[in-house]
Amino acid sequence: MKISQFEINEKSPVFIIAELSANHNGNLETAKETIRAAKRAGADCIKLQTYTPDTITIDSNKNDFLIKGTIWEGKNLYALYKEAYTPWEWHKELMETAKEEGLECFSSPFDKSSVDFLETLNVPAYKIASFEITDIPLIDYVARKGKPVIISTGIASKEDIELALKTCYNAGNRDIALLKCTSSYPAPIEEANLSMIKDFENRFGVISGLSDHTLGADVPIVATALGAKIIEKHFILDRSIGGPDASFSMEEKEFAQMVNSVRNAESAIGKVDYELTEKQIQGRNFSRSLYIVKDVKKGDLLTEENVRSIRPGYGMHPKFLNQIIGKTFNYKYEKGSPLHQNMFS
């Protein structure tokens, strides 16, 4: 998968997305400064959400439309999305700000009209939000644009994932990534279930990653160790400004620490390689080897009293000890001499 200049594959660094979501708090300058802060914090990409209240729901206070069991308890859907949405007239300016900062920028569309609008801005990729994984007509419409599609799986069954992938493939698009996601806000860490990341990769043959709503950086770091190649995390200038997503969003310093930890985790993972590094070779000097531990003279036999396996590692390999016991020294040697093949016969 390639998103502009970023190649995302099993060998590439983790692609880190800062999710702007509603964290502009209705202010364009706040949104632009949030993008700049995301760059300072080490993000590779800023992600928007493209909808209006009317493209995502209807204005109704019927029970079905009232939010229950979340941090937005009691609000109706229309009111939440009216508060949270990013005005479409901001998109071009926000994407220009991202470009100036060297960040990628794309969005989650929520209906065909938002896809058409994003196409006019030439976005490099699309993100399907967790709750839209069942919107097969939308996924089909997005996939047919021929751009990378990143799909969150927060409420998805195995059948939902299979159908979403089949829809993309039937549309001629195999440039797909799946993100493990827990659709709770904030998400309990014990529900992260990061084992799914490797299973997505193995079972479906796709790039896999994480869209994270837990608090802190523990889950993204573990996800990196488990093979995630994309990590998405909500980002905010300052949680004190409030907003629908503030409570589970990271501030700049926290995000920067997360990025640093993810990069450290990548370095620690390394690769399968049995060749010794220069430091490891030097370190072998502290391993055991065969040494003469008592003064000996020519003709003395090699015994377990005068030859032992000790540190450091400048003598013969200890594996030869049993083979050389009983042989004869060719010359006199002092205690502390490393034993070598030419010293006995």
How do residues 159-179 score in pLDDT, each as one tens digit? 999 999 999 999 999 999 999
272 pLDDT exceeds 90? no
Count the alpha carbons within 13 Å of 244 in the hemisphere toward its beta carbon: 20
pLDDT band, residue 158 (cuts 50/70/90): very high
How many whole angstroms separate alpha carbon 339 and alpha carbon 125? Answer: 65
How many whole angstroms separate alpha carbon 116 and alpha carbon 164? Answer: 20
Over residues 43-69, the mean pLDDT reads 94
> What's the burial of 109, exposed, middle or buried (CB within 10 Å: 0-12/13-18/19+)?
buried
Output phi, psi for 246, to 5 deg.
-60, -40
pLDDT given for residue 83 in this prediction: 87
Q: Categorise residue 205: left if φ over 0, alpha if ψ from -120 to 50, beta otherwise.
A: left
276 pLDDT exceeds 90? no
What mean pLDDT value characterizes the chain? 95
- Residue 343 CA to its chain's centroid (Å): 56
Over residues 203-226, the mean pLDDT reads 97
Domains observed in the chain: 12-269 (3.20.20.70), 278-343 (3.90.1210.10)
Match 């590779």 to its residue by tokens: 44
pLDDT band, residue 183 (cuts 50/70/90): confident
**Angle between helices 88-101 and 112-120 in degrees, nearest 10:** 40
The share of the chain scoring above pLDDT 90, in percent, equals 88
Over residues 17-39, the mean pLDDT reads 96
- Residue 29 CA to its chain's centroid (Å): 29
- Lowest-confidence region among 61-75, 94-108, 206-220: 61-75
> What's the burial of 192, exposed, middle or buried (CB within 10 Å: 0-12/13-18/19+)?
buried
pLDDT given for residue 334 in this prediction: 97
205 pLDDT exceeds 90? yes
Q: Which helix (H) or strand (E) holds 168?
A: helix 158-170
Cβ neighbors of 177 (< 8 A, separation 6 or more) are 1, 8, 148, 149, 150, 151, 206, 207, 208, 209, 229, 230
3-state secondary structure of 21: coil
Decide the pairing of beta strands 6-7 and 2-3: antiparallel
How many whole angstroms separate alpha carbon 198 and alpha carbon 203? Answer: 8
3-state secondary structure of 226: coil
pLDDT given for residue 58 in this prediction: 94
Whole-prediction pTM value?
0.87
- Lowest-confidence region among 31-40, 56-65, 303-312: 56-65
pLDDT given for residue 120 in this prediction: 98
Distances (CA, A) of 297 to 273, 291, 329, 344: 45, 15, 7, 11
pLDDT given for residue 82 in this prediction: 92
Over residues 20-35, the mean pLDDT reads 96
How many whole angstroms separate alpha carbon 143 and alpha carbon 165? Answer: 10
Over residues 86-112, the mean pLDDT reads 98
Over residues 263-288, the mean pLDDT reads 91
pLDDT given for residue 71 in this prediction: 81
Decide the pairing of beta strands 230-234 and 207-212: parallel
Over residues 59-67, the mean pLDDT reads 92
How many whole angstroms separate alpha carbon 104 and alpha carbon 127? Answer: 13
